Amino acid sequence: MPWLVALALLVVPIVEIFVIIQIGQVIGGWPTVGLLLVESALGAWIIKREGRRAWNALQSALQTGKMPGRELSDAALVLVGGTLLLTPGFVTDIFGFFFVLPFTRPLARRGMHAFLGRRVATQFGGANLGGFIPGAGPGQPPRHSQDDVIQGEVIDPDQKQ
């Protein structure tokens, strides 16, 4: 994974510069700069609005005692999307808008959950994490049995009798 980040840090700026030059050749230099500035301003406004919505939804879920899974995902996507929107360039703006806009965020959320699910399964070797406790696998209620209790006396060898 670290090599993927390093590769992205090298490739993304090259792709962005290439796309900016191509768009600049089609519409001109100043209109390209203007378009980048308009995208940044629009992105900042959307980040502010959607960030506030995500924060309010997260607070509401926490106050009602509900597990804020979707709200946390949305907040993470708005944060990543906002970072991409603040990065100058058209390619990062496309991904940023995809993460931030409310009608495309569910698709991004599903993709993020699939990616993280594979990542967690890879980290733990695909093992069933519920297998550490007998009878406590996924979807099974916790087992409370008195049959496993063994009565006895603890003997401390360091203690004098």
User: What is the model's pLDDT at position 133?
Assistant: 47
Across 28-32, 72-76, 152-156, the highest mean pLDDT is recorded for 28-32
User: What is the model's pLDDT at position 113?
Assistant: 84
Digit-coded pLDDT (tens) for 95-119 = 999 998 889 988 998 988 888 887 7
Q: Look up the pTM and report it.
A: 0.65
- Comparison of pLDDT for 40 and 131, the residue scoring more: 40
Q: How far apart are the first and last CA of the chain?
A: 59
User: What is the model's pLDDT at position 121?
Assistant: 67
To which residue do tokens 């230099």 refer? 29
- Comparison of pLDDT for 40 and 146, the residue scoring more: 40
Angle between helices 105-123 and 90-100 (to 10 degrees): 90
SS (H, E, C) the chain: CHHHHHHHHHHHHHHHHHHHHHHHHHHCHHHHHHHHHHHHHHHHHHHHHHHHHHHHHHHHHHHCCCCCHHHHHHHHHHHHHHHHHHCCCHHHHHHHHHHHCCCCHHHHHHHHHHHHHHHHHHHCCCCCHHHHCCCCCCCCCCCCCCCCCCCCCCCCCCCCC
Q: pLDDT category, 145, cuts 50, 70, 90?
A: low
Q: pLDDT category, 4, cuts 50, 70, 90?
A: confident
User: What is the model's pLDDT at position 47?
Assistant: 84
To the nearest 10°, report the CA torsion of 134, 137, 143, 147: -20
Mean pLDDT, range 107-136, rounded to an integer:
68
Digit-coded pLDDT (tens) for 20-71 = 999 999 999 999 999 999 998 888 888 888 888 888 888 888 888 888 788 8
